[in-house]
A and B are shown apart, each in its own frame.
Chain A
Amino acid sequence: MSEPTNPVDALLDRAQDLRQTLGGNFRDELVEAIYTDAQAIADRASVKSDSGRLDFDQRIDRLLTAPMLGLPLMLLMLGGVFWLTIAGANVPSQMLMSGLFWVEGAGSRLFEHLGAPWWLTGFVWHGVYRALAWVIAVMLPPMAIFFPMFTMLEDLGYLPRVAFNLDRLFSKAGAHGKQVLTMSMGFGCNAAGVIACRTIDSPRERLIAILTNNFVPCNGRWPTLILLATVFIAAAFPPEVASVAAAGSVAMVAVIGVLFTLVLSAILSRTVLKGTPSAFTLELPPYRRPSVVRILYTSLIDRTMFVLWRAIVFSAPAGGLIWLLANITISGHSLAFYLTDWLDPLGHAIGLDGVIVLAFFIAIPANEIVVPTILMLYLGNTMMTEELSSSSSWRSLFVGEHDWTLLTAVNLMLFSLLHNPCSTTIYTMWKETGSAKWTAFGALMPLAVGLVVTFTIAQVWYLFT
């Protein structure tokens, strides 16, 4: 070391020497001193009131975390949120749909009136616009119901208790306790769930939470699940219990999703993302009256509009693509016909068919258009339709004309749960991780899992039938 030439260097050298003499515990002492001072100031300035509120909170907490009661209460609460979302979104969805489709009719008539060529009218109104209308009508009402309710549970202080109850499972999987929260958020929307992973401080566990978020079904996938449950599973039960059976099977798919989340988290944390769980220091805040304005703001602006906007941006081109595939014909057949023909062997291997596989490809921008796309391809319509109204007409179309079996229904439900995330989620993953590699992994890993699962089930099924 050379002799310092000026006072600044001398000072820096001195600081460097002093740093070496610092004990390892200086941080502890620093924090301790801060807390001691803060405590002294707080004691001087505040008077503690009677702890009546504390007792009230404690009583609720004992109830919510009790061994026999905690789990049923939790399932009931979350089940209630799902049920309200499904039931409550139905009517506004129908209204939005008819309103938006009326605009489509009017718009295309206006184009025709102005003398626009048929392909322009078709592409703009029956392609791009129709996909947008569909996504908005299907997505907006459930999100506008689900997110405020979810935010309210969060605001009440209930969600941290859920995390507290389930932490053991996640800690066994090597994941962070807060992943319960980001996972529940994924039930609403996986892109929002991925954004919520920001609250996990440890980079390793944040990545695990981001990569496995897609294993729980989002709002865009609920309609597919509910439709299949109604058409295939409810039909096997007497009418009185049919709706409960359908709801139960949808809930079971959700539970399967949670299981896959846990299993994949465990595999990731033992292989590519090896490490020990970091501090899970969940604060359990006192229960408080939710603030309505804040709930509406965070849930509608931060979550609903944000997610909807991204879905719109991504589904518009998809709508155009569907229209083109169905309307460009080569020697008498549409492009969609050739593609489904080509995809049929793959579809058959995983218990589905070429049409369904193509629908999943087209629906990468927005999962809600899976069922409409399947319908469009089956019916040979040149645009997405929702003309079938009763579950018996669905059934006669799927089973009667396109040879669907129980295998098709089960595998379609599973594949809907286990496949690549929608492009909105993929884009969000990329934004959040800043890594193309992890984004690609997060997109392909669930797809691989889905292919393996559906392939296995299909092959076993074929073996026995």
Chain B
Amino acid sequence: MLSWLRRIKETRRRVLVEDALKYLHKCDWEGTASTTASVGEALGVSPSKAQLLWQQLQAQGLVEISGDHLHITPLGESLALQVIRAHRLWEKYLVDEARVPLADVHAMADRREHNRNPEAMSVLDASMGYPATDPHGDPIPTAEGVLSQTDSVPLTHWAIDRPARIVHLEDEPVAIFAQIVAAGVYLGQRIKVIESTPKRIVFTDHQETYVLAPIVAGNVFLVASEPMGREAPLPRLTTLELGASAKVQGLDGTLQGYTRRRLLDLGLTKGAQITAEYRSFLGDPVAYRVRGSLIALRQDQAQHVLISTNENQEQNHV
């Protein structure tokens, strides 16, 4: 019983240390100054407790204190990166593999990041194919502790008509992030800004058109990309009539992780011929014939499959 209590206390202390290091790392990364007062406040600990924490961190060689300012040491930095790595890998796993809603994963990963074991993290990393970024577009530190940085520009500062790719969706504040997710904007999306005024930002991915308030758009970050080639939106597989055929043009970008791999593995790749055969009597799913086999897809998956119906070409072919 006593050892159990002690273990809980130790875990709590470790979590606090790791949270402090994470915060210091973030300040360093963003180039903001961190003082004993600001960090204590961010972690929500009382000044007296914070004082003890700094002493402990200093004694372990994780931070250096000069006056009011805290500096993270290389040792502290590497520990912070390990925690961040665990956090972002968990986020990636929860979103892509466990299909947890994007808005919920941050809190879940916050709990899991402290139970990190470098080997287990490496296994998780490898199982997902060494993802470069988490679901918000933040880079995942490698096992060696390398954190790469990309320079991105907020959507509000992007020029009209210049092709871009979304590389980062800021997850704080939560309310704004929820709006980004609700709008259907996703990471890796290739877009073009149509209209940018202080009132609203309008952009398109040539499939849908999106309208965001500047305060929301300011949390969407872009890099330059090649132009997309096509301009007209493609129909979705859900629009295919029973008995009709079409050619698969690809899967849209909102579909990620396990589900995307599964559909690709079934042969729903660009150029594949697909025929809608029949519908379940409850209305969903629909059975499609693709590459000679019959596959049932639910509507919420079929809507991510983009197709082209070119009947003339079809007839020439047959």
A residues near B (Cβ < 8 Å) are 1, 16, 19-20, 22, 24, 27-28, 31-32, 35-36, 39, 58, 61-62, 65-67, 70-71, 160, 163-169, 171, 177, 201-204, 274-286
List 18 additional contacts besides A19-B130, A32-B271; criterion CB under 8 Å. A1-B146, A20-B148, A61-B277, A166-B282, A167-B280, A167-B284, A168-B280, A168-B283, A169-B282, A171-B298, A202-B97, A275-B98, A277-B298, A278-B99, A280-B301, A281-B266, A283-B296, A284-B294
- For chain A, what secondary structure do more than half of its interface residues adopt (helix, strand, loop), or is it mixed? helix
Chain B: number of interface residues, binned into ranges: 35 or more
Chain B residues whose C-beta falls within 8 Å of the C-beta of A71 in the assembled complex: 281
Chain A residues whose C-beta falls within 8 Å of the C-beta of B260 in the assembled complex: 27-28
Q: CA separation between A201 and B272, bound complex, in Å? A: 25
Any chain A CB within 8 A of the CB of B287? yes
Any chain A CB within 8 A of the CB of B100? yes
B residues near A (Cβ < 8 Å) are 97-101, 104, 129-130, 132, 142, 146, 148, 187-188, 250-251, 253, 258-267, 269-272, 277-285, 287, 291, 293-298, 300-301
Contact of B99 among A27, A166, A204, A286 (CB under 8 A): A204
Does B99 lie within 8 Å of A284, measured CB to CB? Answer: no
Chain A residues whose C-beta falls within 8 Å of the C-beta of B278 in the assembled complex: 61-62, 65
Q: CA separation between A286 and B277, bound complex, in Å? A: 13
A98 to chain B, nearest CB (A): 47
| In the complex, the 4 A-B pairs of residues with the closest C-beta atoms, listed nearest first | A168-B282, A279-B259, A284-B294, A32-B269
Residue of A nearest to B150 (CB): A20
Residue of A nearest to B301 (CB): A279
Contact of B251 among A28, A280, A283 (CB under 8 A): A28
Chain B residues whose C-beta falls within 8 Å of the C-beta of A39 in the assembled complex: 291
Q: CA separation between A300 and B157, bound complex, in Å? A: 68
Residue of A nearest to B256 (CB): A24
Does A28 lie within 8 Å of B101, measured CB to CB? Answer: no
Does A275 lie within 8 Å of B269, measured CB to CB? Answer: no
Contact of B280 among A31, A164, A276 (CB under 8 A): A164
A34 to chain B, nearest CB (A): 9
Contact of B267 among A35, A66, A280 (CB under 8 A): A35
7 A–B pairs (Cβ distance < 8 Å), ordered by A: A31-B265, A58-B277, A167-B284, A202-B98, A202-B99, A277-B298, A281-B297
Chain B residues whose C-beta falls within 8 Å of the C-beta of A16 in the assembled complex: 142, 146
Does A275 lie within 8 Å of B298, measured CB to CB? Answer: no
Most chain A C-beta atoms within 10 Å of own C-beta, residue among B100, B296, B301: B296
Does A279 lie within 8 Å of B287, measured CB to CB? Answer: no
Does B287 lie within 8 Å of A284, measured CB to CB? Answer: yes
Chain B residues whose C-beta falls within 8 Å of the C-beta of A166 in the assembled complex: 282
Contact of B281 among A20, A67, A160, A280 (CB under 8 A): A67
Q: CA separation between A164 and B293, bound complex, in Å? A: 15
A6 to chain B, nearest CB (A): 15
Chain A residues whose C-beta falls within 8 Å of the C-beta of B301 in the assembled complex: 279-281
Residue of B nearest to A70 (CB): B281
Contact of B282 among A19, A167, A204 (CB under 8 A): A167
Does A177 lie within 8 Å of B285, measured CB to CB? Answer: yes
Contact of B258 among A24, A58, A202 (CB under 8 A): A202
Most chain A C-beta atoms within 10 Å of own C-beta, residue among B99, B270, B297, B301: B99
Contact of B296 among A66, A274, A281 (CB under 8 A): A281
B258 to chain A, nearest CB (A): 6
B123 to chain A, nearest CB (A): 15
Does A31 lie within 8 Å of B269, measured CB to CB? Answer: yes
Residue of B nearest to A284 (CB): B294
Q: CA separation between A280 and B262, bound complex, in Å? A: 9
Chain B residues whose C-beta falls within 8 Å of the C-beta of A28 in the assembled complex: 250-251, 260, 264, 269-270
